[in-house]
């Protein structure tokens, strides 16, 4: 399984503009992109659902196991993997470091969001170079509560 190129992961980790769109039920059409916080731990990218496992994007990501993200000026086809185990403490630490001072940090490292943690992995097709697409810089609306 191919992982993130170090430069891509660094750019995504430094950005605050990750939008994710899991596939819809047809397995072909991408859902509406959702702006969401992301963090990198080691060589992996993680996201959490602010509203926990009831979040629409989380349910779609777990059900479809694939979709697309747009972040740091690139679009990638990805797969989604549920996360369990002691890595949660390191993900919490990454959220604390990146989003320190945000009123939404507490819920993002709380039990509801921790239970809805997903590892975002580049899809095989992306590893073959098909899926990196430059995107225009559209304005990201602040709205941590919608994550």
Sketch the domain layout of the chain as residue ranges.
Answer: 6-131
Find residue 70's DSSP bridge partners.
Answer: 19, 75
**Residues 73 and 135: beta-carbon distance below 8 Å:** yes
pLDDT digits (tens, 9 = 90+) for 90-145: 999 999 999 999 999 999 999 999 999 999 999 974 344 444 444 433 333 333 34
What SS3 class is residue 49? coil
Tokens of 60: 């779609």
- Residue range 27-68, pLDDT digits in tens: 999 999 999 999 999 999 999 999 999 999 999 999 999 999
Hey, which CATH number is domain 6-131, 3.40.50.300, 3.40.50.410, 1.10.10.10, 2.30.110.10? 2.30.110.10
Contacting residues for 54 by C-beta, under 8 A, at least 6 apart: none
């Amino acid at each position: 399984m191919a992982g993130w190129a170090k430069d891509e992961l660094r750019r995504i980790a430094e950005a605050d503009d990750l939008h994710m769109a899991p596939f819809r039920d047809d397995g072909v059409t991408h859902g509406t992109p959702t702006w969401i916080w992301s963090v990198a731990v080691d060589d992996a990218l993680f996201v959490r659902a602010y509203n926990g496992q009831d979040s629409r994007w989380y349910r779609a990501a777990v059900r479809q196991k694939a979709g697309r993200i747009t972040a740091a000026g690139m679009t990638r086809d990805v797969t989604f993997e549920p996360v369990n185990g002691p890595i949660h403490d390191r993900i919490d630490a990454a959220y604390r470091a990146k989003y320190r001072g945000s009123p939404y940090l507490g819920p993002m490292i709380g039990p509801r969001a921790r239970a809805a943690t997903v590892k975002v992995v580049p899809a095989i097709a992306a590893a073959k170079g098909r899926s990196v697409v430059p995107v225009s810089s559209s304005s990201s609306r602040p709205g941590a509560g919608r994550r």
